[in-house]
Structure 1
């Protein structure tokens, strides 16, 4: 099965010129998944507009196509309870977006309770980690190394300038994986050479990119078919304990 690790689905809210005023629906993403031969995809809310109940409703309507990840802002009171509610809704992971939500990742006071609760609930943690000072891979490691039973996906691999850190962190922490959306082809090739195929998961960050483009990048970076199967779905299925045909 082809399983994509990171995408966004939402209903329009507000009047912002950046993303949130327009809906990107399950029907639209499914059409693009089918076009590219993607069987299942992780779906999250935008960082700007968290709606965990909506994500859960999409999974309920399409359980064979979507894997729901919730989202919390650790700075908000009740963040841990929100995380536990995501687990009760049947969501399989939690997205964290330090840049949009205004916290540095190496903050034990904020993040330790989140990681502890995720460990207890059996949830995967997806960290939006584009190249910025809020969530450098070494900061992610500072928190996650104390919670090795909670798998972490470093979204975007820290591209551009933090990729080297991401490779170091993933190499020495077997519970940390690198997700490929927004990365350059060369960066995926670097990860494959340094880590092998077992620690990389394909993600698209739809609608920011399209599944066919991401699959073409992965095919170019990882020519070995068996290794590519790991990156395009088998690794994530293992991390999430998914039963696949």
Structure 2
């Protein structure tokens, strides 16, 4: 089974050019409902069986994600979001889990906090440990969540699988590999990375700590699968990266 570990969907509302795709000066629509066939068709074309979906950090849309998963339970795995500094953050994580959402995405730079803030993040990680939710942290060359800072918070929560999205690309990949090498609960997700980065991670941490991710629509499933195939030629190892590792993290039967 091919399971992609990181993608975004958005039930776009508002006037953001970035979210609506409108050109500067154009009048963006006030509401563009998301058509799931957009992502499902691309999954089918690339032979992807299931895909994790979460909202862009510009909007937190946990109910939309839960509804998408409920409509397509055999194709989508939902990750929700919270702002940890919100008064109801823990209650929202509990509500997400009740709705069938399987993990938590954090975006420290977008939401204004540092990932090594124990006072803020320890309660979030404790809730995820109690509910069996892995945590994915967006980490693109980001001072708010550099890999060593992710390790600082993850080391105190060994029961929470912690995924470094984008493997810290571009400049923080070496640190991401180091922390994945020495922390059993830290994993590396491959979207936005170079083939050379995946090869380096594969040589250092082996196939068990790497997760295929596309971050559709930023990239596409067939392109990312091709990258993994070139970086990891061994078929059994590639099967781990392309789904079995993520299934194990999510406690799925495949």
Q: Which residue of structure 2 aligns with residue 30 of structure 1?
A: 40
Cα distance in 2 for partners of 1:99, 1:208 equals 19
Q: What is the aligned counterpart of 1:134 among 125, 144, 147? A: 144
Q: What is the aligned counterpart of 1:41 among 51, 59, 65? A: 51
The 3-state SS of whatever aligns with 2:51 is: strand
1:93-114 Cα distance to aligned partner (Å, 9 max, x none)? 0000011101111101110010
Q: Which residue of structure 2 aligns with residue 9 of structure 1?
A: 9
Q: What is the aligned counterpart of 1:71 among 78, 81, 103? A: 81
Q: Which residue of structure 2 aligns with residue 91 of structure 1?
A: 101
Alpha-carbon shift at residue 25 of structure 1 (Å)? 3.1
Cα distance in 2 for partners of 1:166, 1:111 equals 19
Cα distance in 2 for partners of 1:55, 1:27 equals 15
Q: TM-score, normalised by structure 1?
A: 0.97
1:7–1:203 CA contact under 8 A, matched in 2? yes
Q: What is the aligned counterpart of 1:166 among 176, 180, 188? A: 176
1:40–1:65 CA contact under 8 A, matched in 2? yes
1:201–1:233 CA contact under 8 A, matched in 2? yes
Q: Which residue of structure 2 aligns with residue 201 of structure 1?
A: 211
Distance 1:24 1:222, change over 3 A: farther
Cα distance in 1 for partners of 2:34, 2:192 equals 19
The 3-state SS of whatever aligns with 2:18 is: coil
Cα distance in 2 for partners of 1:23, 1:209 equals 21
Cα distance in 1 for partners of 2:3, 2:58 equals 25
Distance 1:23 1:138, change over 3 A: farther
The answer to whether residue 61 in structure 2 is matched with residue 58 in structure 1 is no
Alpha-carbon shift at residue 77 of structure 1 (Å)? 1.4
Farther-moved stretch of structure 1 (183-192 vs 23-32) = 23-32
Alpha-carbon shift at residue 191 of structure 1 (Å)? 0.2
1:10–1:25 CA contact under 8 A, matched in 2? no
1:45-77 Cα distance to aligned partner (Å, 9 max, x none)? 110011101111111111100011111111211
Distance 1:23 1:163, change over 3 A: farther
Q: What is the aligned counterpart of 1:214 among 199, 224, 243? A: 224
The 3-state SS of whatever aligns with 2:219 is: coil
Cα distance in 2 for partners of 1:26, 1:119 equals 31
In structure 2, stretches of 5+ residues that fail to align are 21-27
Farther-moved stretch of structure 1 (18-27 vs 8-17) = 18-27
**Equivalent runs, 1:217-232 vs 2, <5 Å:** 217-232=227-242
Structure with bigger gyration radius: 2
Alpha-carbon shift at residue 210 of structure 1 (Å)? 0.3
